[in-house]
Amino acid sequence: MPRLLEELQRGTPVLDSNGSQIGEIRAVYASGDARTAEFLLVYWNARGEEALVPSDEAMQVDDRGVTLRQPAEWYDDRPAFNPSANPLLHKL
């Protein structure tokens, strides 16, 4: 299992701060010319859609997946991902 955000693969489990699996990684994005992870594109199981999460919300990366800092409901207001609204983002 990757230990760095930049190495995360599509399908890596995403867990909330309570340890519940709430989704999976779809992609890792940087902005402009950056080569480090700035956003995680997460598919949210409960919502059935993808939304970006700032990479600093990732508290831990281990064999179980990526653990976020907050419980799942804290991320409920994240807008659905729209690639055309984020033209400076690029996949790592």
| pLDDT higher than 70, residue 37 | yes
The domain covering 5-84 belongs, at the CATH homologous superfamily level, to PRC-barrel domain (2.30.30.240)
Q: Which residue from 50, 71, 16 is spatially nearest to 39, judged by alpha carbons? A: 50
pLDDT digits (tens, 9 = 90+) for 63-92: 999 999 999 999 999 999 998 888 899 999
Q: What is the token pair recorded at 19?
A: 């340890």
Tell me, what's the pLDDT at 2? 61
Compute how many other C-beta atoms are within 10 angstroms of the C-beta atom of residue 83: 10
| Distance in angstroms (rounded) separating the CA atoms of residues 87 and 18 | 33
Q: What is the token pair recorded at 2?
A: 């990757």
Tell me, what's the pLDDT at 1? 57
Secondary structure of 3-62 in the HEC alphabet?
A: CCHHHCCCCCEEECCCCCEEEEEEEEEEECCCCCCCEEEEEECCCCEEEEEEHHHEEEEE
Tell me, what's the pLDDT at 4? 86
pLDDT digits (tens, 9 = 90+) for 39-70: 999 999 999 999 999 999 999 999 999 999 99
Taking the domains of the chain in order of start, what are their residue ranges?
5-84
| Cα first-last separation, the chain | 17
| pLDDT higher than 60, residue 35 | yes
Could you give the percent of the chain with pLDDT greater than 70?
A: 98
